[in-house]
């Protein structure tokens, strides 16, 4: 039945702007393409530069995120730690109960922790902001009739863009032209099957999923190519509304989850111990207020208060180091996750090879064919417009770009040829086909692609042709087959027409191995990282490259062999194999998933469209600045130089940070637990409090301040040779061994003060204060290494000076003029001699206990157990995809405010829920 003519919308300014035309995407979908261009004041050649600049100034950048370092947001994050929340509540309660001294001391601790955390994290975010600005996402845009590449944030309504396979749609578009176009819209609708797209208008009132004449920001072209006109940008686009509804939050990493579990472990210990102390003191008929304040001091004292500051300092240090090595980590905590890496799967192009593909030869094999004929057929079988391709290689795949950049392309005459139809390359067919007419003659079908796939469509070839092909593969060359047949009378074609071809010859390309590839692989091997190669190339080519750089292969699996194996069989085979050749995107993702399930943390390094699935499935996705949009969006880490040596630097930095963080955790939990257990026991046995609440907090403040030098400490080489993970059981066992050892010497100090020196309460507290500071501060030199301290493992100068300075301050305070204010009485000189002897015995006992502890089987590095497969939800995917539409200007990231730009709140969330609801059936 004939459809009524769609309305012709008038050109009108966008709400909130002076003169930029606007058009709702649903209206654009129901309107003919020419009318949409007219309504937006544009043309097939795009906008003039001056008009585009005017519109950008009016509507703002095409962005939904900002990567500007925000001081207030960084400050707010400092108070998300359960430890700092406990401190804040304790300070408020102490102030309410009239204990000003405790409140002031806790306030100082809060100020130091929050201040240091804020300063370090803000500096790190500023460094990340600078690096983020260097990673650009670009699109091919027509301005004034000329194609050029622009940053996606510079797009405005009315811009005409050209998109191909694997492109992330940069804005809401109305299609102008399309060829075999399929689009993955799962990020919007949740539907996994690709959607066919066509410029034909749809009926009015169609649902979002049925707007087949439009493409939506954030979705991905899975097959085909197109041009389209921008209808909506930034927060006015459908994806932009969803991204704004999510805010700026990001999913938590494994490191963050481990830190949270550790924090809750400490809270459980603190709550249990303080409750027992409070009840015991009440049963002993101690004053309620004094008992409560002492219990709160114990709760604060058992927690490593400056843990957030130590972590942020470590991350800030790591960020600055990685920035010098041109590594962009999308989130700071991903540095820690990078250190977990123990299996790396990577493509060979640009990592093992130079990544500069050059055309070397055309080898004819057909009857009467010449090298010039094969070369010309190779040029014709490209997706780009012939005239544009000769002038610029922008937007072309590397092999086509190398072909057009070769000297022979200068003599090609694009005006002679009329291309009637084209079937774009995809990763299932692995070939491109064109229907071309030469000088008005009969049409021909020309197919170019992987030799294995093209030869299947040709008549059987001779053994000599097979030998020629094998010779090129054995030499490590990349080979593309070219075949053709007559197609007189045809004006269009489909994949079914790719048949009965005659092989014309082969195009040979070369990508030389990197000079430093062997060195980089040796560094990764020294870090305990197993490197595996996953490539779309022929198996012989991959094996040849690995052989040239001296890589010992554990075997090769081809894509066909991967499909033939069950999951358990492939999981076992993948652990042994070193090369996966001729693998599809789905096969790469399956291999990554099974490697993760077999244990260990798996990283994937890729830069192509076919790498996106694997990047999403990996524990750590790694890409490069020159990668395709989809690959950069899916990655956690972006290398500004595609070099495995740079990646090794990042892994070492991640492991160094984690090792220093764990040093603080182990020291803090063992020493604090021992001291607080001693205080709790003494408070029940003695007739007075062993240490006043303010003295406990001052003790912890001095101790923790000295530990702020830990992030810059040296790390033993063996701690960098394998990844380390959060192990709450290990931390608990460490605490339960070394905590009681600390308590044992506390009790010895109590006996010394009471039985030898007959100490009064003020002397007792001064003596234990000094002993506690000395033992728990100096123990760092034993705990920081599994080696013999000082002799085989030297601490950094900063840590040495900080620790000795804290001990000096701890000895000085009870002897200073502040002693009376702090509640201390003078101590006899013999006490210090006894203290020196006890400290030496304590450190020796700790060293012996350490050697025994780490010799036990339970503490040995275990074979990685079956890991929980990380499941990334829709919010994670939206947040990752939204990162490409980012501007350093936080005030402009959503464009100029207007009715089409939702404010955060109920309306935005409602819209988001409606868009993400159950998908409706589509019109194909």
Secondary structure in 3-state letters for 442-485: CEEEEEEECHHHHHCCECCCCHHHHHHHHHHHHCCCEEEEEEEE
Give dist(CA 156, CA 150) in Å, integer: 11
217 contacts 885 by C-beta, under 8 angstroms: yes
> Is pLDDT at 344 greater than 80 in this prediction?
yes
- Comparing CA positions, the residue from 31, 24, 25, 29 lying closest to residue 4 is 31
Helix axes 761-778, 693-706, angle to 10 degrees: 20
pLDDT at position 234:
87
pLDDT at position 356:
80
pTM attached to this predicted model: 0.67
Q: Which residues contact 51 (CB under 8 A, 6 or more apart)?
A: 41, 158
14 contacts 40 by C-beta, under 8 angstroms: no
581 contacts 559 by C-beta, under 8 angstroms: yes
Looking up tokens 């492939």 gives 570
Give dist(CA 141, CA 41) in Å, integer: 16
Tell me the CA distances in angstroms from 732 to 779, 859, 876, one per residue in order. 18, 12, 32
Give dist(CA 335, CA 339) in Å, integer: 7
pLDDT digits 0-9 by tens, 812-843:
999 899 888 888 999 999 999 999 999 999 99
- Comparing CA positions, the residue from 696, 676, 770, 765 lying closest to residue 94 is 696
Q: Mapped to the 3 state alphabet, what secondary structure does 632-646 carry?
A: HHHCCEEECCCCHHH
- Across the strands, what pairs with 579? 533, 556
**Per-residue burial over 769-787, b = 16 or more CB atoms within 10 Å of its CB, e = otherwise:** bbbbbbbbbbbbbbbbbbe
Angle, vertex CA 76, rays to CA 70 and CA 82, nearest 5: 145
408 contacts 361 by C-beta, under 8 angstroms: no
Which 3 state secondary structure label does DSSP give 357?
Answer: coil
**Per-residue burial over 36-56, b = 16 or more CB atoms within 10 Å of its CB, e = otherwise:** bbbbbebbeebbeeebbebbb
Looking up tokens 């990349």 gives 478
- Which helix (DSSP H) or strand (DSSP E) does residue 538 occupy? none
Residues 68-96 have a mean pLDDT of: 71
Handedness of CA 162, 165, 168, 173 (dihedral sign): positive
Name the strands in the sheet holding 358-364, side by side, starting at the edge strand that comes first in the sequence.
358-364, 502-510, 478-486, 443-449, 431-438, 417-423
558 contacts 581 by C-beta, under 8 angstroms: yes
pLDDT at position 840:
92
Looking up tokens 């500004």 gives 640
Give dist(CA 481, CA 454) in Å, integer: 6
Q: Which of 137-146, 304-313, 517-526, 867-876 has the lowest mean pLDDT?
A: 867-876
Q: Which residues contact 588 (CB under 8 A, 6 or more apart)?
A: 345, 534, 580, 604, 606, 610, 611, 613, 614
Tell me the CA distances in angstroms from 811 to 113, 297, 682, 702, 824, one per residue in order. 24, 21, 22, 11, 12
- Across the strands, what pairs with 506? 363, 481
pLDDT digits 0-9 by tens, 143-167:
988 888 888 889 999 999 998 877 8
Residues 268-277 have a mean pLDDT of: 78
Question: pLDDT band at residue 349, thresholds of 50, 70 and 90?
Answer: confident
Enter the tokens of residue 862: 């275990």
Count of CB atoms within 10 A of residue 262's CB? 22
Cα dihedral 856/860/866/868 (nearest 10) = 100
Q: Which of 4-18, 47-61, 404-418 has the lowest mean pLDDT?
A: 4-18
Tell me the pairing of strands 502-510 and 195-196.
unpaired
Angle, vertex CA 58, rays to CA 56 and CA 59, nearest 5: 70
> Is pLDDT at 908 greater than 50 in this prediction?
no
pLDDT at position 895:
43
> Is pLDDT at 8 greater than 50 in this prediction?
no
> Is pLDDT at 15 greater than 80 in this prediction?
no
Looking up tokens 């358990």 gives 568
Residues 175-185 have a mean pLDDT of: 88
Question: pLDDT band at residue 269, thresholds of 50, 70 and 90?
Answer: confident
> Is pLDDT at 428 greater than 80 in this prediction?
no
pLDDT at position 885:
76
Cα dihedral 447/451/455/461 (nearest 10) = 120
Looking at every residue in the chain, the average pLDDT score rounds to 80
pLDDT at position 40:
93
Residues 756-764 have a mean pLDDT of: 91
Give dist(CA 69, CA 130) in Å, integer: 10
> Is pLDDT at 13 greater than 60 in this prediction?
no
Handedness of CA 349, 353, 358, 360 (dihedral sign): negative
The DSSP annotation for 25-61 comes to: HHHHHTS-HHHHHHHTT--TT-B-HHHHHHHHHHH--
pLDDT digits 0-9 by tens, 603-638:
898 887 778 778 877 888 888 877 776 677 777 788
Let me know how long the chain is. 924
Give dist(CA 563, CA 130) in Å, integer: 44
User: Active-site positions?
Assistant: 347
Residues 182-198 have a mean pLDDT of: 82
- Comparing CA positions, the residue from 401, 476, 430 lying closest to residue 626 is 401
> Is pLDDT at 897 greater than 60 in this prediction?
no
Q: Which of 51-60, 213-222, 271-280, 451-460 has the lowest mean pLDDT?
A: 271-280
Question: pLDDT band at residue 192, thresholds of 50, 70 and 90?
Answer: low
> Is pLDDT at 909 greater than 70 in this prediction?
no
The DSSP annotation for 800-816 comes to: HHHHHHHHHHHHHGGGS
Residues 196-221 have a mean pLDDT of: 88
- Across the strands, what pairs with 172? 232
> Is pLDDT at 308 greater than 70 in this prediction?
no
Residue bearing the bigger pLDDT, 228 or 791: 228
pLDDT digits 0-9 by tens, 720-748:
887 777 777 788 888 888 888 988 999 99
Q: Which of 235-239, 333-337, 547-551 has the lowest mean pLDDT?
A: 333-337
pLDDT digits 0-9 by tens, 654-696:
888 888 888 877 877 777 778 778 887 888 888 887 887 778 7
pLDDT at position 116:
67
User: What are the φ/ψ torsions at residue 396 (nearest 5 degrees)?
Assistant: -90, 155
Q: Which of 292-296, 683-687, 697-701 has the lowest mean pLDDT?
A: 292-296
Residues 337-354 have a mean pLDDT of: 82
By the 10 Å C-beta count (0-12 exposed, 13-18 middle, 19+ buried), 116 is classed as: buried
Count of CB atoms within 10 A of residue 260's CB? 15
Give dist(CA 696, CA 298) in Å, integer: 8
Cα dihedral 312/316/318/322 (nearest 10) = 150
Handedness of CA 637, 641, 643, 648 (dihedral sign): negative
Give dist(CA 375, CA 378) in Å, integer: 5
> Is pLDDT at 88 greater than 80 in this prediction?
no
Region for 769 from its dihedrals, namely left if φ exceeds 0, alpha if ψ lies in -120 to 50, beta otherwise:
alpha
């Amino acid at each position: 039945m004939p459809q009524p003519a769609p309305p012709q919308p008038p050109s009108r300014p966008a709400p909130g702007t002076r003169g930029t035309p606007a058009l709702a995407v649903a209206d654009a979908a129901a309107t003919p393409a020419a009318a949409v261009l007219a309504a937006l004041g544009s043309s097939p050649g795009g906008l003039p530069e001056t008009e585009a600049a005017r519109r950008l100034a009016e509507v703002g950048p095409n962005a939904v995120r900002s990567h500007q370092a925000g001081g207030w947001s960084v400050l707010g994050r400092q108070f998300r730690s359960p430890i700092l929340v406990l401190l804040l509540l304790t300070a408020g309660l102490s102030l309410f109960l009239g204990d000003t001294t405790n409140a002031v001391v806790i306030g100082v601790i809060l100020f130091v922790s929050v201040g240091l955390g804020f300063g370090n994290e803000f500096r790190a975010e500023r460094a990340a902001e600078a690096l983020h600005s260097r990673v650009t996402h670009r699109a091919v845009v027509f301005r004034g009739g000329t194609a050029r590449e622009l940053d996606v944030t510079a797009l405005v309504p009315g811009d005409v863009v050209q998109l191909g396979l694997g492109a992330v749609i940069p804005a809401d578009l109305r299609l102008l032209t399309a060829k075999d176009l399929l689009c993955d819209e799962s990020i919007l609708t949740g539907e996994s099957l690709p959607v066919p797209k066509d410029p034909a208008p749809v009926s009015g009132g169609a649902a979002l999923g049925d707007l087949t004449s439009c493409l939506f920001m954030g979705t991905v072209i899975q097959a085909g190519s197109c041009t389209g006109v921008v209808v909506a940008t930034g927060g006015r686009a459908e994806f932009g509304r969803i991204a704004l509804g999510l805010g700026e939050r990001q999913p938590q990493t494994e490191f963050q989850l481990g830190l949270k579990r550790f924090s809750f472990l400490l809270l459980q210990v603190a709550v249990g111990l303080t409750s027992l102390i409070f009840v015991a003191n009440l049963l002993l008929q101690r004053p309620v207020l004094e008992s409560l304040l002492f219990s709160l001091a114990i709760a604060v004292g058992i927690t490593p208060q400056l843990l957030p500051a130590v972590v942020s300092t470590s991350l800030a240090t790591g960020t600055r180091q990685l920035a010098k090595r041109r590594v962009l980590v999308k989130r700071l905590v991903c540095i820690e996750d990078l250190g977990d890496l123990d299996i790396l799967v990577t493509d060979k192009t640009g990592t093992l090879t130079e990544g500069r593909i050059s055309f070397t030869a055309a080898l004819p094999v057909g009857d009467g064919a010449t090298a010039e004929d094969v070369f010309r057929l190779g040029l014709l079988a490209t997706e780009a417009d012939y005239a544009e391709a000769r002038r610029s290689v922008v937007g072309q795949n590397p092999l086509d770009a190398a072909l057009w950049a070769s000297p022979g392309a200068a003599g090609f005459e694009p005006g002679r040829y009329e291309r009637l139809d084209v079937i774009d390359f995809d990763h299932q067919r692995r070939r491109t086909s064109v229907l071309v007419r030469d000088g008005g003659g009969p049409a021909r079908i020309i197919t170019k692609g992987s030799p294995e796939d093209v030869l299947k469509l040709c008549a059987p070839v001779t053994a000599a042709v097979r030998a020629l092909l094998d010779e090129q593969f054995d030499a490590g060359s990349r080979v593309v087959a070219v075949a053709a047949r007559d197609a007189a009378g045809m004006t269009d074609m489909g994949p079914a027409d790719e048949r009965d071809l005659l092989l014309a010859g082969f195009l040979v390309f070369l990508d030389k191995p990197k000079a430093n590839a062997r060195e980089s692989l040796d560094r990764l091997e020294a870090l305990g990282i197993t490197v595996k190669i996953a490539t779309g190339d022929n198996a012989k080519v991959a094996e040849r490259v690995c052989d040239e750089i001296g890589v010992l292969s554990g075997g090769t699996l081809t894509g066909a062999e991967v499909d033939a194996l069950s999951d358990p069989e492939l999981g076992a085979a993948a652990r042994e194999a070193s090369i996966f050749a001729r693998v599809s995107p789905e096969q790469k993702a399956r291999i990554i998933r099974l490697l993760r399930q077999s244990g260990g943390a798996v990283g994937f390094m890729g830069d192509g469209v076919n790498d996106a699935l694997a990047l999403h499935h990996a524990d750590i996705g790694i890409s490069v600045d020159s990668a395709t949009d989809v690959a950069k969006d899916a990655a956690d880490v972006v290398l500004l130089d595609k070099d495995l040596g740079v990646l090794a630097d990042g892994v070492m930095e991640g492991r160094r940070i984690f090792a220093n963080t764990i040093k603080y955790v182990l020291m803090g939990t063992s020493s604090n637990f021992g001291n607080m257990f001693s205080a709790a026991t003494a408070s029940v046995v003695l007739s007075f409090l062993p240490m006043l609440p303010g003295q406990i907090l001052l003790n912890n403040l001095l101790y923790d301040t000295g530990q702020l030098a830990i992030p810059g400490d040296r790390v033993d080489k063996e701690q960098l040779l394998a990844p380390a993970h959060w192990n709450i059981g290990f931390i608990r066992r460490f605490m339960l061994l070394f905590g009681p050892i600390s308590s044992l010497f506390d009790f010895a100090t109590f006996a010394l003060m009471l039985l030898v020196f007959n100490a009064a309460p003020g002397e007792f507290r001064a003596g234990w204060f000094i002993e506690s500071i000395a033992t728990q501060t100096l123990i760092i030199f034993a705990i920081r290494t599994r080696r013999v301290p000082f002799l085989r493992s030297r601490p950094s100068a900063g840590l040495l000076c900080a620790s000795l300075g804290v001990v000096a301050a701890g000895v000085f305070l009870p002897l200073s003029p502040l002693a009376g204010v702090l509640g201390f009485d003078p101590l006899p000189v013999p006490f210090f001699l006894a203290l020196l002897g006890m400290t030496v015995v304590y450190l020796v006992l700790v060293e012996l206990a350490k050697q025994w502890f780490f010799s036990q089987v339970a503490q040995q590095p275990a074979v990685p157990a079956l890991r929980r497969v990380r499941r990334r939800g829709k919010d994670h995917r939206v947040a990752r995809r939204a990162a490409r539409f980012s501007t350093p200007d936080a005030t402009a990231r959503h464009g100029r405010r207007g009715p089409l730009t939702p404010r955060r709140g109920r309306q935005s969330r409602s819209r988001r829920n409606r868009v993400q609801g159950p998908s409706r059936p589509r019109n194909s």
